[in-house]
Amino acid sequence: MRATPRAVSRSSWSTSPPAAEVPDLDELAGRLAAIAEDLADAALDRLRQTADILRAGGEPDPGLVAEEKRITRARRAVEKAATLVGGTASAGFDEGP
């Protein structure tokens, strides 16, 4: 005989963690800003590698160039998230209703 599955209440689906475990928005914004700095360092490293190749008379590695562009796009997205989470006003961002 199979057991009948018990109904799961909706309240158990959205159990929130205790308030002490939820980070402050300013803390999150700071962590995002630190991640953006790490991404900027990674992008600069790729640019330096490309510059070294060019100085040596070689052709830039297309994979390296594409990686730098991806990292830069990610950095910009993280910077935008840090600005939005931190609540600082920034020109060009429409916060909407």
* pLDDT of amino acid 91: 41
Mean pLDDT of the chain: 82
Name which residue leads in pLDDT, 41 or 88.
41
Tell me if 94 is assigned to some domain: no
Is pLDDT at 26 greater than 90 in this prediction? Answer: yes
Asked whether residue 48 is assigned to any structural domain, the reply reads yes
What are the pLDDT digits (tens) for 55-75?
999 999 999 999 999 999 999
- Total domain count for the chain? 1
Is the residue at 95 inside a domain? no
Angstrom distance (rounded) from CA 44 to CA 61: 15
40 is a domain residue: yes
Is residue 19, in this structure, part of any structural domain at all? no
Domain range for residue 67?
Answer: 24-86
CB-based contact 69:80 (threshold 8 Å) = no
Residue 39 lies in a domain: yes
CA 56 to chain centre: 34
